[in-house]
Amino acid sequence: MFSRVLTYLHSLANRLGVSRGRDEPVKAESWVWYIEARPFNEVGDEPGEAPEGAPVMGSGVAVRLERLERRTEPKGEQWIPKSPPEIRKYLLTCAHVVRGFETGPEGTKWAPLLGEILCWRPGSDYLHWQAEKHRRLSGQADAIGAHRAAVKLAPIESPGAVESEDASVLNDWVLLEIEDGPNGDFGKMPSVDRWRSIDDEESGLSIIGYPGGGITWGHNQEVIPHRSSGFAVKRLGAGELSLSGVESEPGMSGGGVFDHDNALVAIHRAVTKNALETHVVSVAEIQRWLEERGLRPAPMLPRKRSWIGHLGSLIRGRPFKFFILLLALVAVICWWFCLPNVQVSYCLKVTGGEDPPEAPRGTVLFKPVAGLKLEVVPDGWRLPSPISATTDSEGKVCFSVDLSEELRRRDELRFNIRSLNTPEPLAPLSPLFLHPFGITQQGWKKEGDYDDFARFIGRDGESEFRSAQVWSQKTRFSVDISSQISADDNVSDQPIDDQIALASAKLKLSPEQTNERLSAWANVLMEKRPVIPSSGITDPDSVSIQSVAGSVGAVVQSRGFSTGFAISPFAILTMGCQDSSGAEERWITFSEKESESFRRVKLGRLLWRGDSNKKPICMFEAQGELPSPPKLGRIRAEDVTTGRKVYVIGYPKASSGSPSELNSIFPLGQRSVMFGETLNPGEDEPDIIWHDATTTVGTGGGPLVDHGSNEVIGIHLGGAFVGGIHKENFAISMDSLLADEDFRKAAFRSETEPSVVNLAPEPQPTDPLHLATNSPLVSGYGSDFLGVSIPLPKPTGDESPLIAHENKPLDYVHYSVVMSKERRMARLAAANIDRESRVNVRRGREWYSDPRLPSSSQPSSSLFQRNSLDRGHLIGRRALAWGAPQIAELASLSAFYYPNATPQHQDLNQRSWLKLERTVYDELHPDTRRLSVFAGPIEDPTDILYRGYRVPRRFWLVAVYENEAVPDSLKVHSFLVAQYRPGVSNDPDEWSSFEEGAKEVTIEEVEREAGISFQFPKRTIDVHRLP
């Protein structure tokens, strides 16, 4: 409190003209300079001529460094400050800002050090060159309002080009020495006060830099830096941090990353041009490097004069002003103790809008968004404890915040609103209004366990009413236009541009609205299924990926470009074999760009040709040296499970049938890596592997590569946007090609054998897959787990339809399943859960048939292929992963056996059922350690018949929570949830959206609807009955 009073007095003294000490603390923006570098050099002592052109743009942070000297002390040799202190100022920036990039046969690397480096201080004027001259001398920096600079110190000392292996994150920084003006401008400029090491994970950070740079400034305009807030970092390794948040722009590289106290924590750098990944260099690592060479960040400057010194001179020379200051001091102290912190309420009303199809165009209906739990997340200030509240039935919510005098004096308080649950009902794209103030800025995105709901700025309720859009990104990454396409069979079979036109017409979108949504769609695709130039890969496996990419080239022929790759030391595999007579010349170039002619090899005679319809690929003999071929992986297409990480390498071209927003995803004409996952195997397609990488024209013939092993498992042929959501592509499996004797002879000849890896070994007795059903750890559901006996529920009718395995349930780790013979699915499942013993186990992706049952007596993968049905867990994987690490891993794995899978529509599985699981497993009775969960389908004769299985219309779930104080007095919650209405089509893809959510009911209603009977202790409390 006393320090705050002094701060106020110091401010008042400044206004009275009393203080002559150090200036008030400066903003971090005053520490960040703008930098331009150009590729020309001085010749001898003469300045070189500077042609006007686009420079390399960036930012730099002014820092103060103190020189140390090594001395021998009793504890050994140590670095200690010199006396008197030797302190110099520098600009800290990225190495690539003063070098740029160059691309060659070996990939992308840093170019040689650029000949001229110019720096502008924040607040200075940016002067353009004289238009009539278009040229100037490199020594004339003053003429455009800049300071010249030179590299003083850097991890990479060589001025020449830097190879890609040395152009790493940790080496991407330099110290620039500024050529000071006659008035010592740089020496007088403010610099960073404090460097700080960052935690493994930290949020609330800001980047300060110059997006767009001099390109955006007119002549004689002021150089003003920009602050981007709301970033988070995660440590990747020593000195290297991954940054996530708002996308940064060119010109921000080299800028400072600051925390909420304006301490410098890192230097910003963008790894890829499309900003898919953003890495930063930790200043803690830079500081360690400097200290090894006798430098350290200089301590903060002391105040020139203390307030006591000012007070003494004031009493001696200005007694009248001293008397005024004394009265002010008394008034402030009285005011401070009489007026405590003020509590301010921020209230808002949340309404979601939807455009009903039957209403006239432009009509919008608004509904309150109730039950939305919101949390206040301060931006640049702190709360003593978290504040959250829930919207009521009218969509209203209020936050009460205690504001100190310091916070009340601010012009504005910025804070985020984070949603702790999913707002329902909201369309994937819906107008969202915050009354009476606030502007949503970032929309909706998933952040770990949270949905990032909206960010807005509040000024005590005085801001004008604003509207905004909320983008709801589901796991199938669709927005409203693609949802409309997916819902209309007449649309989804047509080319993508026709799909978009028809969907936009049905949604009554203007051309501007359509373009806006397409841009958002493209951004989501880039986030979920990125496309990156092979030279810009920063994946931990980048060396392996680039090794495969080196074998891939652009095939050039009269009909255009396609992709091919080296299948052996003398053969190229590609597609597009319309003219295989040899009359047409073909070449393959292994350059980064298809238009470059170096590293080019001529293709000769045709060695092998596949069926033009089923396998439209061919093999040509190379008339020159080829790069090393990649490893080939043999896995049958039917054994490729859904969700396997893969990538395609090829040379994308613009598609005339796609809008420009989608074409903008691709680095056109450049060798690129397109990441994706495998899809469900197709029926009656034993040679085809399906995947969802975002591909386009020109990539056909490229290798489909398994990301885990980096082995080629197929040849990508083509695909389409199915349902307007994502690409569905098909590839010929490498296994089917290698099974062809003629293909093997053509590719490898008799003296050569391919490098082939079998990617699908059968489980061995020591495998976790085997142990999950056969080890002593498989104990199943325990009826005494909660301290009293709760046996498995019993059917109220004939038990024989329930028996499917040796007259007993199927036991797994922590849970058991009772199967139905007639339906070949689970009748019910029961599990024991210990919340305090949970272990964070990596999620599996593959599902397995239980070897204890015939495959005909359990769900088949064919039930879930190429439709809207998800494999819904009756018992959630995350809840089962508890106990010792080995047990938790086996429990998580055992959750992926088909007896635990039930067919659930994607809308139910990813919304209502997921929300119910979170409620049961995490939110209800949070102080209770143990619970038992029972779940299953409600079997109804009217359930639709689909692919030989009855798909349940409804499901039930019962959760029983222990009571340690009174063991036989348990708490029970019972729920029912539906996934489709009676009388719907037998095809799940035609079901309309049906979202009622889970309904809490009595245990008697569950028993009646499900046809089962529970046996609970007499004192068990059915919570639903409580008022």
pLDDT of the residue at 764:
38
Gap between the Cα atoms of 504 and 429, Å rounded: 13
The type of residue at 980 is Y
Is pLDDT at 18 greater than 50 in this prediction?
no
The type of residue at 646 is V
| Statement: 28-297 belongs to CATH 3.30.1380.10 | no
Gap between the Cα atoms of 747 and 566, Å rounded: 10
Phi, psi (degrees; rounded to nearest 5) at 347: -115, 145
pLDDT band at 211 (very low <50, low <70, confident <90, very high): confident
pTM for the model:
0.35
pLDDT band at 545 (very low <50, low <70, confident <90, very high): confident
Q: Taking the CA atoms of the chain, what radius of gyration do you get in angstroms? A: 34
Structure tokens at 238: 């020593």
User: Which residues make beta-bridge pairs with 706?
Assistant: 646, 711
- Cis peptide bond prior to 84, omega within 30° of 0: yes
Say which range, 125-134, 154-163, 275-284, 542-551, has the weakest mean pLDDT. Answer: 125-134
pLDDT of the residue at 951:
92
Gap between the Cα atoms of 935 and 976, Å rounded: 10
**Residues in Cβ contact with 309 at an 8 Å cutoff, skipping those fewer than 6 apart:** none
How buried is residue 986: exposed, middle or buried, by Cβ count under 10 Å (0-12/13-18/19+)? exposed
pLDDT of the residue at 579:
57
Q: What is the total residue count of the chain?
A: 1027
Look at 207 and 485; give whichever has higher pLDDT.
207
Residue (of 704, 387, 740) closest to 575 by Cα position:
704
Each residue of 834-859: pLDDT tens digit?
998 888 887 766 788 888 888 888 99
pLDDT of the residue at 477:
27
Share of the chain above pLDDT 90, in %: 15
| CB-CB contact of 904 with 872 (8 Å) | yes
Is pLDDT at 198 greater than 70 in this prediction?
yes
Mean pLDDT of 709-713: 90
Is pLDDT at 492 greater than 50 in this prediction?
no
pLDDT of the residue at 690:
86
pLDDT of the residue at 762:
38
**DSSP assigned state of 922:** I
Say which range, 150-154, 253-257, 643-647, 653-657, has the weakest mean pLDDT. Answer: 653-657
Say which range, 28-42, 92-106, 249-263, 365-379, has the weakest mean pLDDT. Answer: 365-379
Mean pLDDT of 427-456: 40
Structure tokens at 746: 């053509």
Mean pLDDT of 297-310: 59
Each residue of 868-915: pLDDT tens digit?
888 999 999 989 999 888 788 888 888 999 999 999 988 888 888 988
Gap between the Cα atoms of 960 and 832, Å rounded: 10
Say which range, 48-57, 684-693, 705-714, 786-795, has the weakest mean pLDDT. Answer: 48-57
pLDDT of the residue at 995:
58
pLDDT of the residue at 806:
60
Look at 766 and 550; give whichever has higher pLDDT.
550
Structure tokens at 297: 């960040």
Each residue of 759-803: pLDDT tens digit?
543 333 344 555 556 555 577 899 989 988 899 998 887 554 555
pLDDT of the residue at 103:
66
pLDDT of the residue at 249:
58
pLDDT of the residue at 781:
93
pLDDT of the residue at 744:
87
Gap between the Cα atoms of 804 and 801, Å rounded: 8
Gap between the Cα atoms of 983 and 126, Å rounded: 70
Look at 1006 and 981; give whichever has higher pLDDT.
1006
Residue (of 850, 928, 863, 930) closest to 896 by Cα position:
850
Gap between the Cα atoms of 219 and 683, Å rounded: 65
Q: Is the dihedral of CA 986, 992, 995, 996 positive or negative?
A: negative
The type of residue at 420 is L
| Statement: 533-758 belongs to CATH 1.10.1740.10 | no
pLDDT of the residue at 825:
93
Structure tokens at 628: 């090393």
Is pLDDT at 614 greater than 80 in this prediction?
no
Is pLDDT at 138 greater than 70 in this prediction?
no
Gap between the Cα atoms of 500 and 83, Å rounded: 72
Q: Is the dihedral of CA 861, 863, 864, 865 positive or negative?
A: positive
Mean pLDDT of 467-476: 28
Structure tokens at 704: 């489909």
| CB-CB contact of 513 with 480 (8 Å) | no
| CB-CB contact of 113 with 93 (8 Å) | no
- Cis peptide bond prior to 763, omega within 30° of 0: no
Say which range, 187-196, 509-518, 841-850, 885-894, has the weakest mean pLDDT. Answer: 509-518
Mean pLDDT of 8-24: 40
Provide the CATH topology of domain 768-1025.
Extracellular Endonuclease; Chain A (3.40.570)
Look at 394 and 903; give whichever has higher pLDDT.
903
| CB-CB contact of 651 with 563 (8 Å) | yes
Look at 22 and 186; give whichever has higher pLDDT.
186
pLDDT of the residue at 563:
92
Cα angle vertex 979, ends 974, 983, to 5°?
125
Phi, psi (degrees; rounded to nearest 5) at 944: -70, 150
Look at 271 and 423; give whichever has higher pLDDT.
423
Is pLDDT at 578 greater than 80 in this prediction?
no
Q: Write out the E strands in 835-887.
A: 869-873
**Residues in Cβ contact with 189 at an 8 Å cutoff, skipping those fewer than 6 apart:** 30, 62, 89, 121
| CB-CB contact of 707 with 645 (8 Å) | yes
Look at 399 and 927; give whichever has higher pLDDT.
927
User: Which residues make beta-bridge pairs with 135?
Assistant: 51
Say which range, 132-141, 648-657, 679-688, 986-995, has the weakest mean pLDDT. Answer: 132-141
pLDDT of the residue at 360:
42
Cα angle vertex 481, ends 475, 485, to 5°?
90
| CB-CB contact of 296 with 283 (8 Å) | no
Per-residue CA distances from 352 to 110, 388, 504, 936, 980 (Å):
50, 20, 21, 34, 24
Gap between the Cα atoms of 129 and 936, Å rounded: 75
To the nearest 10 degrees (0 to 180), the angle between helices 307-317 and 319-338 is 130
Look at 761 and 304; give whichever has higher pLDDT.
304
Neighbours of 251 (CB within 10 A): 25
